[in-house]
Amino acid sequence: MAFRATGTRALRHQASLWCSASSLSATLRRGFFSRLVNTLIFAEHEEGLVKNSSVRAIEAAGAISKENSISVLLAGTGPDLEKAASHAASAHPLVSQVLVADSDMFLHPVAETCAELVKLVHQMGSYSYIIAASNSFGKNLIPRAAALLDVSPITDVIEVPEPRIFVRPIYAGNALCTVKYTGTDPCMLTIRSTSFPLSTLESRTEASPISQVDISTLKEAALGRSRWLSLTSQDTERPDLGNARIVVTGGRGLKSAENFKLLDKLANKLGAAVGATRAAVDGGFVPNELQVGQTGKVVAPELYLAFGVSGAIQHLAGMRDSKVIVAVNKDADAPVFQVADYGLVADLFQVLPELLEKLPEKK
């Protein structure tokens, strides 16, 4: 004999059962998905240390799922690679293993070669996600590797609300776009590292295991499409522009490379990094690696000082996430004042000498 409940109370009971079943189903699906999440981080290293931007990419991978199995891939050769592998093994508690591709072909980080490596490692590990930092190298690598794996990459991710759902800026940072990835594995991402600050991490009790990648099947014909020529960089003791706590930036208003040396003196006193707008770079005031903006480096320091910067939309896209923004410009209508926390309408050639005079020397 079967009984059928009727009335409002019965309907509430049925609804409660349906909600409980739905909740249970969703929980089971999330749990099943979490167990399947397997992520590969292509990490950059320098002088035996994994770069901070790559460590933050690991932090971003942790936002996808707490049960994420994260592998860190390092490519290179020699003693620096061995030191970087040891550092990666203890750099973040979420790292499950470190994969090392040791060969002379990775002596220099050529994107075409590294993309072939990513394809090979994915074929070995069948990863759900492949992630790199959203810097010049990551933006060069991930689209190439995605083409080899026949998937569409998602770039400049700044937030991960749910697995396979990502937030990224568009229109030079003036709008945010929420993207749902519905393609096949792997889901390939570049992470804007400034949007994923490192949380308070527990120290690891033991380092993650380190394994060598068998690269014997890499085709030499596919690796000769480009070659390393040279590296040009400034020899300076200043902090890296992308990770500095304080950034001093100059724009077209500085008028010449000679005047830009005023910012160098200020940066030395503050222990800051020096940045520049595209107009200053195009004018030959400073080298290209100092450019901040949509087509340069994205920074989010605790203090951002802008001198002679008008505030073009492309430049604002690279620094609007700074904690405190101070702008000095003689044009009261300059767009930079719309995002500045503190603005001074004055001639920078009067302000800078006064600042240099009153600031104490860096200890």
- 315 among the known binding-site residues? yes
pLDDT digits 0-9 by tens, 161-178 = 999 999 999 887 889 999
Residue 11 CA: distances (Å) to CA of 5, 61, 220, 269: 8, 43, 68, 72
- 314 among the known binding-site residues? yes
Report the range of poorest mean pLDDT among 28-37, 183-192, 199-208, 227-236.
Answer: 28-37
d(CA 355, CA 353): 5
Q: How confident is the model at residue 32 (pLDDT cuts 50, 70, 90)?
A: very low
In the prediction, which pLDDT does 65 show? 83
- 313 among the known binding-site residues? yes
- 174 among the known binding-site residues? no
Average pLDDT over residues 13-34: 39
- 336 among the known binding-site residues? no
Q: How confident is the model at residue 15 (pLDDT cuts 50, 70, 90)?
A: very low
- Complete domains list, the chain, with CATH: 32-223 (3.40.50.620), 246-358 (3.40.50.1220)
- 294 among the known binding-site residues? yes
Taking a C-beta distance cutoff of 8 angstroms, is the pair 56, 44 a contact? no
Indicate the pTM of the whole model. 0.80
pLDDT digits 0-9 by tens, 219-258 = 765 666 788 888 776 666 788 888 899 999 999 999 999 9
In the prediction, which pLDDT does 159 show? 95
In the prediction, which pLDDT does 21 show? 40
Confidence check: pLDDT of 199 > 60: yes
Taking a C-beta distance cutoff of 8 angstroms, is the pair 309, 348 a contact? no
Confidence check: pLDDT of 9 > 70: no
- 308 among the known binding-site residues? yes
Tokens at residue 322, please? 């700074």
- 212 among the known binding-site residues? no
- 272 among the known binding-site residues? no
- 97 among the known binding-site residues? no
- 278 among the known binding-site residues? yes
- 39 among the known binding-site residues? no
Non-local CB neighbours of 199 within 8 Å, separated by 6+ positions: 59
Average pLDDT over residues 13-32: 39
- 281 among the known binding-site residues? no
In the prediction, which pLDDT does 25 show? 40
- 277 among the known binding-site residues? yes
pLDDT digits 0-9 by tens, 61-94 = 999 987 889 999 999 999 999 999 999 999 999 9
